[in-house]
Chains A and B, each alone.
Chain A
């Protein structure tokens, strides 16, 4: 399978704390993307990091990419209750025309 794998599967933190989610993958990639899904809804694109980039920021989000380890991490700083959702990484492989999604990390932020 070309799917990525997120770790942990579930994460529960207090509001104001930072949340870190990890993603490992198996194939060569053009880019890696992170998405958010609120319960029962579609996914929303958060951030894209290209294979030649090591770190990227967007607001309270920080993404890192280590292609030698085939891994990425998503950091959400100063979390809010509204950040409660599932987060997915998706790889855009060099040999494919579509994204491969992991199984997601369920984040719960407690007010």
Chain B
């Protein structure tokens, strides 16, 4: 069964910590995405990548960076975690062409 795997379901970090959220897909998809989901705001795109070592900013990239060294792995990095980054983080992937996304199960991050 094809899937997108996010390394943690729940994560609690302290303000100022550097946080790594990992996402791995086994479908050989070219495109990978990081969204955050907050009540009343829906899903907002943070960053996406359409190829290895390539990245594009989404709507809310401030305070985040990403890394894609291998095709199957797309990492989201919170350089210095802040309480306003407490959220549900969702990773997704899709192949080239206008297809649907496959999502991971999400990581609920709490920054205290």
Contact = CB atoms under 8 A, between A and B. Distances in A.
A33 B100 contact: yes
Contacts of B108: 40
A87 interface: no
Interface residues of A, number: 23
Interface stretch (B13-21, B38-46, B72-80): B38-46
A97 B90 contact: no
Interface in A85-111: 88, 90, 92, 97-104
Nearest to B99: A48
B42 A104 contact: yes
A105 to B, nearest CB: 11
A3 interface: yes
Given A42-B105, A103-B42, 9 more contacts: A42-B4, A42-B103, A45-B101, A45-B102, A45-B103, A48-B99, A99-B101, A101-B35, A101-B42
Interface of A: 3, 30-31, 33, 35, 40-45, 48, 88, 90, 92, 97-104
